[in-house]
Amino acid sequence: MNNVKEKSNFGFFGSKLYFILACLAGIPIYIAVKGYVESIQVYADDSVAFAATVFFIMGVFTGRYISQVWASGLKTFPKDVLSGLALLIVASIAWLFFHADFPLNGRTAINLLLFWLPFLLISIASGMMIKVMHTVTQNQLTEAKSQAAHSQSELNLLQSQLSPHFLFNTLNNLYGLSITDHQKIPPLLLKLSELLRYSVYDASEIYVPLKNEMAYIKNYIEFEKIRIGDRLVLSTDLEEMIDPEIKIAPMLLIVFIENAFKHSKNTASPEIFVDISLRTWGGSVLFSVRNSYGQDGEENNILNGSGGVGLPNVNKRLELLYPNAHELNVRSDELFYTVELQLKMK
């Protein structure tokens, strides 16, 4: 009931607005028409100018109505139609001035027709152009809002998957350690609580300060150092003095870091090599991670993102949050798997 009432009120105020705009538009139209009829020496020029102004405004609304019938579904500007209407308006105006200089002698009725017909065409064509342009603009705006809402919903879904994905992988690791190296469990659980606090509470925004994300990454690295122990050969180059105004999509980089630790531990080598770099330069965030990996077909799993939701998720988020503003390079050789990502600063 309220929606019906709101629509009714909107229709009332919309009609009132159109009436006010028509009155305001009628002023310059009246002045222009009066000047024209005076130039061709028409008797009762005030009455004729007023009648022509009303006639013109009615023609504009008629043109709007005609366009509304066939243009309601347009999402792009019909260039041929708009060009034709513009040409018709220009030709009709040119004809009015030509006819004013060369009227037909003794042909009053035909002269009236030759004046009012192009005048009618100008008003209808103008109304059609206005309605088509307004309709296309509104349809494009509605479609853009719909796409934005869809992208936002998709982004929220992708972001909601990150914490469960991280928790699932971490609990699997903790289960293995509880059997083989249970004394590491208490400090790992403490680090895990800090990580989950950030991922659940602090990472709910679309963009978060890069400084906060850096602290989260450092906590995660400490978590992995405890978990892996002496096997880990870690090299980090993490910028310390980061502008607090720089923002980044939350838990975007951690997917690559988590992947590096996850797959490097499966190498047959007694040592696990992980190299992480994160710096800002020239309006961009520069990130890279390199890790050793196994030779049992695991490279293919990493590259294709078949190891879980992480990599497909982050690729989709990059498309939604950094369209034409990111560059992701993935490569591998016989020993190392490398990810390099460049993001435009937010």
Residues 173 and 137 in one domain: no
pLDDT of residue 11: 45
CA 222/CA 224 separation, integer angstroms: 5
Residues 142 and 170 in one domain: no
Residues 187 and 294 in one domain: yes
Residues 185 and 136 in one domain: no
Match 């289960």 to its residue by tokens: 175
- The answer to whether 286 and 315 are in contact (CB under 8 A) is no
Residues 119 and 182 in one domain: no
Number of structural domains found in the chain: 2
* Domain end residue (candidates: 124, 155, 186): 155
Which helix (DSSP H) or strand (DSSP E) does residue 274 occupy? Answer: strand 272-281
Which residue in 235, 313, 230 sits closest to 265, CA to CA? 230
Measured in Å, how far apart are the chain's first and last C-alpha atoms?
Answer: 44
- The answer to whether 268 and 231 are in contact (CB under 8 A) is no
pLDDT of residue 321: 85
Rama region for 305: left / alpha / beta (φ>0; ψ in -120 to 50; rest): left
Residues 128 and 193 in one domain: no
The encoded tokens of residue 85 equal 């209407």
Residues 135 and 195 in one domain: no
- The answer to whether 331 and 318 are in contact (CB under 8 A) is no
pLDDT of residue 282: 86
> 151: which residues sit within 8 A by CB, 6+ positions away?
320
pLDDT of residue 21: 60
- The answer to whether 223 and 195 are in contact (CB under 8 A) is yes
Q: Which amino acid is at 300?
A: N
Parallel/antiparallel/unpaired status of strands 232-238 and 272-281: parallel
pLDDT digits (tens, 9 = 90+) for 281-309: 988 999 999 998 765 544 444 444 444 45
Residue 244: φ, ψ to 5°: -65, -15
Match 């690559």 to its residue by tokens: 256
Structural domain span for residue 64? 2-155
* Domain end residue (candidates: 155, 190, 219): 155
Regions of the chain short of the pLDDT cut 50: 1-14, 297-308
CA 182/CA 180 separation, integer angstroms: 6
DSSP code of residue 283: T
* Domain end residue (candidates: 127, 155, 183): 155
pLDDT of residue 294: 65
pLDDT of residue 277: 95
CATH number of the domain that residue 168 is part of: 3.30.565.10
pLDDT of residue 304: 44
Residues 200 and 133 in one domain: no
pLDDT of residue 2: 46
Please report which residue ranges of the chain form alpha helices under DSSP H: 2-39, 45-71, 79-101, 108-160, 162-180, 185-197, 210-228, 254-264, 298-304, 310-321
Q: CA of 203: how far to CAs of 6, 41, 74, 313, in Å?
A: 38, 76, 40, 16
> 202: which residues sit within 8 A by CB, 6+ positions away?
208, 212, 216, 250
Q: How many CB atoms are closer than 10 A to CB 15?
A: 10
> 17: which residues sit within 8 A by CB, 6+ positions away?
none
Residues 209 and 305 in one domain: yes
Cα dihedral sign for 320, 321, 326, 329?
negative
In our burial notation (b when 16+ CB lie closer than 10 A, e otherwise), range 92-118 reads beebbeeebeeeeeeeeeebeebbeeb
- The answer to whether 278 and 241 are in contact (CB under 8 A) is no
Residues 191 and 146 in one domain: no
Residues 181 and 39 in one domain: no
CA 346/CA 343 separation, integer angstroms: 9
Helix/strand/coil for 73: coil
Residues 184 and 225 in one domain: yes
